[in-house]
């Protein structure tokens, strides 16, 4: 019954994310549609036309950004949950962001112990992609992004540190709040999605940040309990 309940909670989060993305995408689409309709009204001064086109393009970019924050790894038929080797999956995400890091003159440094957690691997990757992307974006003049994983018996502890622009106390407080963004073209959804995924996995997170010094995120995820798993299996059979 407990496993059933957990499964239901997970399904709920999955459909919650699906519902939020269609909601989020609808707004920019409505704006794009409106401006295309306006472009059909003749005659229009050239500058007005150009302004409408610019706004429509910006909104399309916004929709792209939202899809990026939610669905980079989405597959048509997502597996629900499975054991995830944190080091293996984080290495994949680090590889993915390597070109972006390079472009921003950010060095990547990592020390990854193996540790197994239970979760949806696509969401796991989405979560860390969003967090690592934020760290790189926080270092406009370059720096070092360091990722560590420590396997601590009952939990797997992940830290993400940057020596970027940092956050004020108020910004730290609002971290993960939907639409909170200090970026000109930010969605304010990346951290929210990451935080939801961490909480869905039964994990906790902490932000430590100093303005102009940098930010460290500590994410603690429950480690897979082999003992629990085998007793659950025998209960099911």
Binding residues vs Mg ion (CB under 5 A) = 134, 190
> Exactly one of 23, 114, 183, 206 binds ligand ADP (CB under 6 A); which one?
183
Q: Which does 162 bind (CB under 5 to 8 A by kind): Mg ion, ligand ADP, none?
A: ligand ADP
> How far from the centroid of its chain's Cα atoms is residue 225's Cα?
26
Q: Does 135 bind ligand ADP (CB under 6 A)?
A: yes
**Beta strand ranges found along 143-236 (DSSP E):** 143-152, 155-162, 204-210, 214-222
Element (H, E) at 87: helix 86-103
Which of 199, 203, 72 has its CA nearest to residue 125?
A: 72
Residue whose CB is less far from Mg ion, 143 or 190: 190
> Residue 13 or 118: which CB sits closer to ligand ADP?
13
- On whether the CB atoms of residues 137 and 152 are closer than 8 A, the answer is no
CB 204 within 8 A of CB 144: no
Nearest to 126, CA basis, from 192, 224, 82, 60: 192
Can residue 134 be called a binding residue for ligand ADP (CB under 6 A)?
yes
Stretch that binds ligand ADP, among 25-33, 42-50, 143-151, 167-175 (CB under 6 A): 167-175
Using CB under 6 A, pick the residue from 48, 182, 210, 232 that binds ligand ADP. 182
Minimum separation from the CB atom of position 19 to ligand ADP (A): 18
Residue 130 interacts with ligand ADP (CB under 6 A): yes or no = yes
Which is nearest to 222 in space by CA: 201, 206, 205? 201
Residues 197-226 that bind ligand ADP (CB under 6 A): 215
Distance, CA of 196 to CA of 11 (rounded, Å): 13
Q: With binding defined as CB under 6 A, does residue 110 bind ligand ADP? A: no
The item of Mg ion, ligand ADP, none sharing an interface with residue 180, based on CB under 5 to 8 Å by kind, is: ligand ADP
What's the farthest any 2 CA atoms get from each other in the chain?
A: 74
DSSP-derived letter for residue 224 is P
- Tell me whether residue 151 or residue 171 sits nearer to ligand ADP (CB atom): 171
User: Per CB under 6 A, does 94 bind ligand ADP?
Assistant: no
C-alpha–C-alpha distance, residues 194 and 176, integer Å: 8
Q: How far is the CB of 131 from ligand ADP (least distance, A)?
A: 7
Three-class secondary structure of residue 141 per DSSP: coil
Partner whose binding site includes residue 144, from ligand ADP, Mg ion, none (CB under 5 to 8 Å by kind): none
**Interface residues with ligand ADP (CB under 6 A)?**
130, 134-135, 138, 162, 164-167, 171, 175, 180-183, 186-192, 215
């Amino acid at each position: 019954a407990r496993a059933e309940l957990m499964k239901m909670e997970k399904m709920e989060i999955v459909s919650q994310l699906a519902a939020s993305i269609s909601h989020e995408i609808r707004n920019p689409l409505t704006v794009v549609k409106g401006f295309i309709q306006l472009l059909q009204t003749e005659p229009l001064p050239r500058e007005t036309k150009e302004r409408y086109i610019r706004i429509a393009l910006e909104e399309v970019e916004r929709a792209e950004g939202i899809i990026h924050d939610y669905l980079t790894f989405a597959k048509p038929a997502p597996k629900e949950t499975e054991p995830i080797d944190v080091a293996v999956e984080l290495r994949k995400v680090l590889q993915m962001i390597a070109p972006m890091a390079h472009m921003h003159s950010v060095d990547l440094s990592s020390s990854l112990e193996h540790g197994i957690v239970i979760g949806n691997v696509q969401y796991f990757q989405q979560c860390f992609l969003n967090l690592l992307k934020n760290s790189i974006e926080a270092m406009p003049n370059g720096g070092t992004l360091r990722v560590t994983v420590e396997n601590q018996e009952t939990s797997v502890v992940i830290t993400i540190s940057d020596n970027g622009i940092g956050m004020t106390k108020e910004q730290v407080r609002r971290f993960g709040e939907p639409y909170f963004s200090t970026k000109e073209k930010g969605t304010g959804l990346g951290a929210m999605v990451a935080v939801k995924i961490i909480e869905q996995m039964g994990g906790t997170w902490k932000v430590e940040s100093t303005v102009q010094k940098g930010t460290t995120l500590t994410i603690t995820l429950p480690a897979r309990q082999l003992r629990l798993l085998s007793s659950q299996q025998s209960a099911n059979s």
